[in-house]
Structure 1
Amino acid sequence: MLAPGPERVVAIRTDDTGAATAPPALFPDAAAAVRAFEPEAPRWVWPDTAAIYPSVLRAGLRVQRCHDLALTGALLRTRAGLAPAAVTAAPADERPALFETTPAADPDAVLAEHADQVARTGPDARLRLLVAAESAGGLAAAEMGHIGMPFSAAAHRRLLDAALGPRVPADVLPVRLREVADEVSAAFGRRVNPASQPEVVAAFARDGVELASTRAWLLRDVDHPAVAPLLRYRDLAKLHSANGWAWLDAWVTGDRFRPVYVPGGVVSGRWASRGGGALQIPKALRTSVIADPDHSLVIADAGQLEPRILAAMSGDPLMVAAAGAADLYAPVAAEVFGGDRAKAKVAILGVLYGATAGEARSLLTLLRTRFPVAVRYVEDAARAGERGEVVHSWLGRACPPPGERWWSEGDAHGRPDRDARARGRFTRNFVVQATAAEWALCLLAELRRRLADTGSELVFFQHDEVVVHSRDPQAAVRHVLDATASATRLLFGDTAVRFPMDVAVRDCYAEPATETVPSRRIARGVDPVS
């Protein structure tokens, strides 16, 4: 156990129940404690990985395992039927400070919290796996933020210059945005601010076009000369505000993009990011994600993950058989939809997300007759949600309970159908999406373990995608595939469901069609489960 104090760090050996087994040892900082004890490969118990581990990483050290009390506490809180703790509003500048202080923690309180969490977790093997995976994810998040993703600042500046024009002061609109704004005004025959939705809607109305909003999908159906420059303006404005020069200054240092990952930042267990937009890297920016000399980027993502998760969870024999194929939709299309793969995809995604309108309803009816067990699995979760019940993922993550307002409007029989159906759609998808997040966490934890001391580094993670920066891409690919197979066994044992990984080795993260650096692809569509 490690508890940071105002001047010293306290480390105490504990047993599996969380009870202390030796007197406290004092260290000047967390790095010194890790340096002393990590050779024994302990499982570190500490209040919050995000607060403690960065200083250890800056000292050039890493730990193999930990138990994160904050992440575990959040899991157990929702399992106890409590709403997730309120997220503290993030300050405007989320960049790590040069000199950070770690919040002090009372050692006795840390010991007591750990013992309580061990008792509440109990012998439940699945829940114990979830706790371990969640804590490993916290370590990986801190490590990726410390290492950073390779990112060429020079390449990004060239992109900005080409798209927006020369750099201007923060309070000045780039020249290309001003030019496109002038094109919009010229198309309307009067001065219109393209950044103002009311002005744009009013301008269209004056020309006889009624719009409820200026959403892109609505504009694309409008025959008007202002549409094309408006859409260009929107794209350029987004680039400027989200990933412009200010973003580059704030988040890219030493040709590394260092975001702040937030494990478990979404109620389903998916990650979020705080500042920097790590989980929303536009395709245009990917041309700037370039491997170091003599290195490659190994990019791997799981195909059709959530439908395969549903097959494994439900155990529906026919869906399991379909998920044994490299393309899950193909056998479903052949058996149910006369070979129409598009309809098969719409139907399966409709099952996951509760689509019941239009063609999706009839397709769902066909799918229900072929895969009754799988469909019943998510429909049972939906009905439970409509009744205000809490549903759980495969390993035991609980969805948040309904709020007081939900209950105050009457019981499940008396409330408006719309509210009940909305919660049902949420719980229907939660059981699958949260389990997919658990599979991805186990993949991440296994891959992190396998890459240790190999010279390869995990540099990016997004839902079902990982990126490894490596001098030995062939070895890194093997580690990715082995970690995939291991994650599948950890969750589902000896399942016949396959989880194919689409793996590519490149010098640049961008798709080959838009790469400025030649691609060295050595693996594509590789399946670790034979």
Structure 2
Amino acid sequence: MDADHAPARAVVVDPEGDSFLVREGERSLRVDAAGLAAVVLARRDDPRWVWDTPRVYPVLLAAGVRVGRAWDLRLARAVLRRAAGTPEAAAWPRDEWDDPALAADDGALGIDVAPTPPAAEEHRRQLSLLEGAERPGALRLLITAESAGALAAAEMRVTGLPWSASEHLRVLDGLLGPRPTAGARPARLEALVEEVRAALTAPALNPDSPVELSRALRLAGIAVASTRADDLRRVEHPVVAPLLAYKKLARLHAANGWHWLDAWVRDGRFHPDYVVSGVVTGRWATRGGGALQLPRQIRSAVVADPGWCLVVADAAQLEPRVLAGLAHDRAMATAGHGRDLYDGMVASGAVADRASAKVGMLGALYGATSGDGGRLVPRLAQRFPRALALVEQAARDGERGGTVHTLLGRGSPPPGAAHRAAIAAGGGVEADDALQRRARAAARDRGRFTRNFVVQGTAAEWALCWLADLRQRLWLLGDGELAERPQLVYFLHDEVIVHAPVALAAEVEAAVRAAARTAGRLLFGDFPIDFPLDVAVVERYSDAG
């Protein structure tokens, strides 16, 4: 991706009914879907296609046409709305280029929506704003990476993750029993329900109801803070084992059972429907299907085609390494250089063991003030002061009602109305103790969000740059149609799966690692922080460890 964010000739595509208006400079051409595919295929100069990716790119992919790079106007608008140094964007009238989720976060639902400007006009406005931004290069890189992510998401939906329905059925039968009739529980779940009812002396209990379950636990003399698995594990009682087993299998049945298989797998492929930057930090979400939560029980169903393999790669300790780069904390960078970062923290003398390093770092990232995390954070602060100071400052900014930004300039949403009201009520001269406590709690919640936002958001930027660069490298490894080359088929925050011919496995692994180095260089320049990967070449996803 070294040159992918460089200036390129822009070609704007605007869908209008069943046709598309293609504009380049002062020239324009109206075409149908087949005509659009012909226009793209005729180009040999790799222009940047300016469009709304989910509305246009699937039309091209259906015709077997891939593009190298794009500028997604909707994603760019979302970035610019809150970006560092672009106050004019916040005042733009809202129209259909705005992400509805973004409008909801800003409390802007119910306002009048302005007429949507044509794509070419919107693109000119975005470029003009970028020229006057404080850090135009960083924002341009972010928008370019977001847009490449949108292309990859569309391609992964079309290509699909290789999936063995027969293996999935075998797993379900083994764990749950035969497929039940509609509305009934599988046999294994029904047996566990009976065990739970007997242990609680509650013959009519519905364990899927938190209210009923909480009441039954109380009547049995079991005091728990909630019915969540973490709280139940702290209890010694005969009901705990069957209840935990029920909860685990019930999740599998609801999220990835027979109905999921019927709805999401066709022709040997699971087709994930990703939402690029569906979370305010820039992480992806999905529109159903649960692509970001594939449980380990069914990963054996992800099976490469004959003659192909799965190259599974994930970044080790991504968020702590990103924090070290953000803060330019050389001590933390050195601790993770060429090794497991948590082991390096132990070797530095900051903590006694790897488990403590992990708990302490999670405490720093999420604002722990008590328990093991709260106890270990000060020790990490002594050894890695720059990193811990960065997240503490982000937390203080949030507590005061401010906004924070990622490395490339993505801005956090402003405080919500409830937060502002709590702070205002608790800060007045007449505020009683209860109002003051609520104000402090609201401030702490906001601070925990902003301290994590800067790190998680920058980690999402690293992952997008990794994905974007890898996408281009994979295209160069093969020849022929998209389906005949190594393909990105899965993305999960800091993990990718590439479906590749076995003969290209070594080259794909090298590409995955090279793309990670490129992502680190794009974000942190020559600062000595590395991003090691755990890479496995396997036939089944479950074999990747």
Q: Is TM more than 0.5 here?
A: yes
1:161 maps to which of 149, 157, 173: 173
Instruction: Provide the rounded CA distance (Å) in 2 between the counterparts of 1:338 and 1:236.
Output: 37
Which secondary structure does the structure 2 equivalent of 1:459 belong to? Answer: strand
Q: Which amino acid aligns with 1:242?
A: A
Decide whether aligned partners of structure 1 residues 209 and 350 sit closer, same or farther in structure 2, where only a CA change above 3 A counts. closer
Answer yes or no: is the 8 Å Cα contact 1:168–1:174 preserved in 2.
yes
Instruction: Provide the rounded CA distance (Å) in 2 between the counterparts of 1:410 and 1:229.
Output: 45
Is the counterpart of residue 118 in structure 1 residue 127 in structure 2? Answer: yes
Tell me the TM-score normalised to structure 1 length: 0.87
Decide whether aligned partners of structure 1 residues 78 and 204 sit closer, same or farther in structure 2, where only a CA change above 3 A counts. same
For the aligned residues, what is the CA RMSD? 2.3
Aligned twin of 2:13: 2
Aligned twin of 1:32: 37
Answer yes or no: is the 8 Å Cα contact 1:3–1:107 preserved in 2.
no
Deviation sequence 1:329-371 (CA, Å, 0-9, x none): 2232233336433323322222222112134344222222222
Instruction: Provide the rounded CA distance (Å) in 1 between the counterparts of 2:102 and 2:443.
Output: 29
Instruction: Provide the rounded CA distance (Å) in 2 between the counterparts of 1:41 and 1:155.
Output: 42
Q: Which amino acid aligns with 2:350?
A: F
Report 1:72-471 matches (<5 A): 72-79=76-83, 85-87=99-101, 109-122=118-131, 124-191=136-203, 192-337=205-350, 339-410=352-423, 416-453=439-476, 454=478, 455-471=485-501
Instruction: Provide the rounded CA distance (Å) in 1 between the counterparts of 2:141 and 2:260.
Output: 37
Decide whether aligned partners of structure 1 residues 326 and 2 sit closer, same or farther in structure 2, where only a CA change above 3 A counts. same
Which secondary structure does the structure 1 equivalent of 2:100 belong to? Answer: coil
Answer yes or no: is the 8 Å Cα contact 2:338–2:532 preserved in 1.
no
Answer yes or no: is the 8 Å Cα contact 1:289–1:508 preserved in 2.
yes
Which secondary structure does the structure 2 equivalent of 1:264 belong to? Answer: coil
Q: How many Å apart are 1:212 and its aligned residue?
A: 4.1
Answer yes or no: is the 8 Å Cα contact 2:141–2:408 preserved in 1.
yes
Decide whether aligned partners of structure 1 residues 134 and 165 sit closer, same or farther in structure 2, where only a CA change above 3 A counts. same
Answer yes or no: is the 8 Å Cα contact 1:385–1:423 preserved in 2.
yes
Instruction: Provide the rounded CA distance (Å) in 2 between the counterparts of 1:214 and 1:346.
Output: 24
Q: How many Å apart are 1:380 and its aligned residue?
A: 1.3
Aligned twin of 1:103: none
Q: How many Å apart are 1:470 and its aligned residue?
A: 0.5
Which secondary structure does the structure 2 equivalent of 1:299 belong to? Answer: strand
Instruction: Provide the rounded CA distance (Å) in 2 between the counterparts of 1:231 and 1:369.
Output: 40
Decide whether aligned partners of structure 1 residues 309 and 338 sit closer, same or farther in structure 2, where only a CA change above 3 A counts. closer
Q: Which amino acid aligns with 1:2?
A: V
Instruction: Provide the rounded CA distance (Å) in 2 between the counterparts of 1:406 and 1:204.
Output: 34
Instruction: Provide the rounded CA distance (Å) in 2 between the counterparts of 1:44 and 1:107.
Output: 19
Of residues 307-316 and 325-334 in structure 1, the stretch that sits farther from structure 2 once superposed is 325-334
Q: Which amino acid aligns with 2:492?
A: Q
Of residues 149-158 and 190-199 in structure 1, the stretch that sits farther from structure 2 once superposed is 190-199
Q: Between Structure 1 and Structure 2, which shows a larger proportion of helix residues?
A: 2
Which secondary structure does the structure 2 equivalent of 1:277 belong to? Answer: coil
Q: Which amino acid aligns with 1:429?
A: N
Q: How many Å apart are 1:108 and its aligned residue?
A: 6.4
Which secondary structure does the structure 2 equivalent of 1:418 belong to? Answer: helix
Which secondary structure does the structure 1 equivalent of 2:541 belong to? Answer: coil
Q: How many residues align?
A: 489
Mark the runs of 5 or more structure 2 residues left unpaired by the alignment: 1-11, 104-114, 429-435, 479-484
Q: Which amino acid aligns with 1:111?
A: A
Answer yes or no: is the 8 Å Cα contact 1:336–1:366 preserved in 2.
no
Answer yes or no: is the 8 Å Cα contact 1:56–1:62 preserved in 2.
yes
Which secondary structure does the structure 2 equivalent of 1:40 belong to? Answer: coil
Q: How many Å apart are 1:260 and its aligned residue?
A: 0.4
Decide whether aligned partners of structure 1 residues 34 and 169 sit closer, same or farther in structure 2, where only a CA change above 3 A counts. farther
Mark the runs of 5 or more structure 1 residues left unpaired by the alignment: 14-20, 90-105, 514-530
Instruction: Provide the rounded CA distance (Å) in 1 between the counterparts of 2:189 and 2:277.
Output: 37
Among all aligned residue pairs of Structure 1 and Structure 2, give the percentage whose two residues are the same amino acid: 48
Of residues 347-356 and 376-385 in structure 1, the stretch that sits farther from structure 2 once superposed is 347-356
Tell me the TM-score normalised to structure 2 length: 0.85
